[in-house]
Amino acid sequence: MKKRLTSQQEFEIMKLVLDKFLWLGFIIMGFGMYQMFTVSISNGFMWIVAGAALLLLFIILIVKEYEIVK
């Protein structure tokens, strides 16, 4: 038998997962800044774009999962 989660429990688990996406996105962007200063601007910029894409994925998951409306 599978256990059913309440909406509050599901939300708490989703917050934990999405929080990891948020941290990973900012770490990648920070690494991009480091690369800009040490290696080259174009190399660092590509890392920053990758981090921004991950954060964009984070936003899409939140909107899709929880149907945030204005």
Sign of CA dihedral 28, 30, 34, 39: positive
Look up the pTM and report it.
Answer: 0.68
Mean pLDDT computed over every residue of the chain: 83
49-64 confidence digits (pLDDT tens): 999 998 888 888 777 7
Q: What is the DSSP string of 1-20?
A: -PPPPPHHHHHHHHHHHHHH
15, pLDDT greater than 90: no
